[in-house]
Amino acid sequence: MAHPSTPKGIVITVPVLVLSLAVAAIFFFFLLASLSSPTPPSCSCPTSSSSSPAQQILSTRPQDVMWVRDQIQANGLHMQDNVLRKGINPRTRAQQLQDFIQYKGISHYEGEEANNHTAFPCPGELLVEEHHSNYGEPWAGGRDVYEFLAEAAHLTPESRVLEIGCGTLRVGLHFIRYLDPEHFHCLERDELSLMAAFRYELPSQGLLHKRPLIVKGEDMDFSKFGSGVMYDLIYASAVFLHMPDKLVWVGVERLAAKLKQGEGRIFVSHNIKFCSRLGGDECTKRLKSLGLEYVGKHTHDSLLFNHYEIWFEFRRSKS
């Protein structure tokens, strides 16, 4: 009787063995998983946004320029005159604005309906981007300034940045896009520029969710940015040269206290005559009394047009 039951017994015990091993394996898996991943509430590991390699690219790289050159060549493209042709109707900004005023769009709402389909109607002057011509250089120059400063300051998305005089956000947009929400701050006094920034640039670039802190205020009044915030990068692009030296020094004193020790940097473009007019030694002494030191002068080339800009770098002095 024992013999016939033996093969039967083996047949029964194999699935039982497999089942019990599986149960044990699952039990140990959950035991190990619960021991090895305690998920602490204050994890200092990098967030997915900062560790993603695409987020870390600050500047246009040589391989990017090669790629775009190849695309133009592969498509056989050459620069053409911008003249009237099928589907293309070249107009100046002034003509575009006139079209807006005269409602020449294909389909537009009229009467009562004209006021309830657009979330935040924008003035026509801003829609035709008149403000892109307000600051001298091509609008694209803002990208050059961003790329230089972001590399020079070793920017990360967690960095905090303050711009003195961000105008229409020609430079600031690029910082806002890269940085974490609320990490870009700016003081600007020109109201038209601020309207262009808030009503057109931020919405049209899809950057409202980045909640930049942009404050209308007179020169060098940083009281609205809070007393506790410390910046990794503070910069002024073609701003100090339009101010009296005395006011610049008032600002520099206030900014010194808001600059992070160590990695924090202040960058000033074009010239630092507010400093050099004092004479070299006096300038160094004055900076030292504010806890600052001059690091050096940089130039950087433009990606798109024949131009370079000069930047002067400062940091907190070590002692």
Ligand X SMILES: *[C@@H]1O[C@H](CO)[C@@H](O)[C@H](O)[C@H]1NC(C)=O
The residue number with the shortest CB distance to ligand X is: 116
Stretch near ligand X under the rule CB under 6 A, chosen from 108-116, 168-176, 255-263, 264-272: 108-116
**Does position 120 bind ligand X by CB under 6 A?**
no
Size of the site for ligand X (CB under 6 A): 4
Q: Which range touches ligand X (CB under 6 A), out of 58-66, 83-91, 113-121, 145-153? A: 113-121
Distance CA 220, CA 8 (A): 91
Check if the beta carbon of residue 166 is closer than 8 Å to that of residue 186: yes
116 part of the interface to ligand X, by CB under 6 A: yes
Stretch that binds ligand X, among 56-64, 111-119, 156-164, 228-236 (CB under 6 A): 111-119
Given 3, 78, 117, 318, the residue binding ligand X (CB under 6 A):
117
Q: Provide long-range contacts, Cβ within 8 A and 24+ apart, for 206-213.
A: 207/173, 207/176, 207/177, 209/181, 210/176, 210/177, 210/179, 210/181, 210/182, 210/184, 211/181, 211/182, 212/172, 212/176, 212/182, 212/184, 212/185, 212/186, 213/182, 213/184, 213/185, 213/186
Q: Within 10 A of 207 (CB to CB), how many other CB atoms are there?
A: 18
- The residue among 189, 249, 257 whose CA lies nearest residue 227 is 257
CA 301 – CA 19 distance, rounded (Å): 69
Give the shortest CB-104-to-ligand X separation in angstroms.
22
Residue 110 interacts with ligand X (CB under 6 A)? no
Span near ligand X by CB under 6 A; candidates 21-29, 109-117, 229-237, 251-259: 109-117
Task: Write the burial class of residue 281 (CB in 10 Å: 0-12 exposed, 13-18 middle, 19+ buried).
Answer: exposed
CB of 112 to ligand X, least distance (A): 4
CA atoms of 154 and 24, how far apart (whole Å): 50
| Interface pick for ligand X out of 112, 191, 218, 281 (rule CB under 6 A) | 112
Choose the binding region for ligand X from 79-87, 112-120, 239-247, 310-318 (rule: CB under 6 A).
112-120
Q: Is 113 in the site for ligand X (CB under 6 A)?
A: yes
Tell me how far CA of residue 257 lies from CA of 103, 119, 131, 167, 317, in angstroms. 52, 41, 34, 24, 12
Of 81 and 113, CB closest to ligand X: 113
Query: What's the min distance (Å) between Cβ of 88 and ligand X?
Result: 33
Candidates 21-29, 75-83, 110-118, 230-238; binding stretch for ligand X (CB under 6 A): 110-118
CB of 123 to ligand X, least distance (A): 21
Nearest distance from residue 114's CB to ligand X, in Å?
Answer: 9
Task: Give SS3 for 104.
Answer: coil
Please identify, using beta-carbon distances, which residue of 30 and 109 lies nearer to ligand X: 109
Q: Is 281 a residue that touches ligand X (CB under 6 A)?
A: no
Contact status, residue 164 vs residue 239, Cβ threshold 8 Å: yes
Site residues (vs ligand X, CB under 6 A): 112-113, 116-117
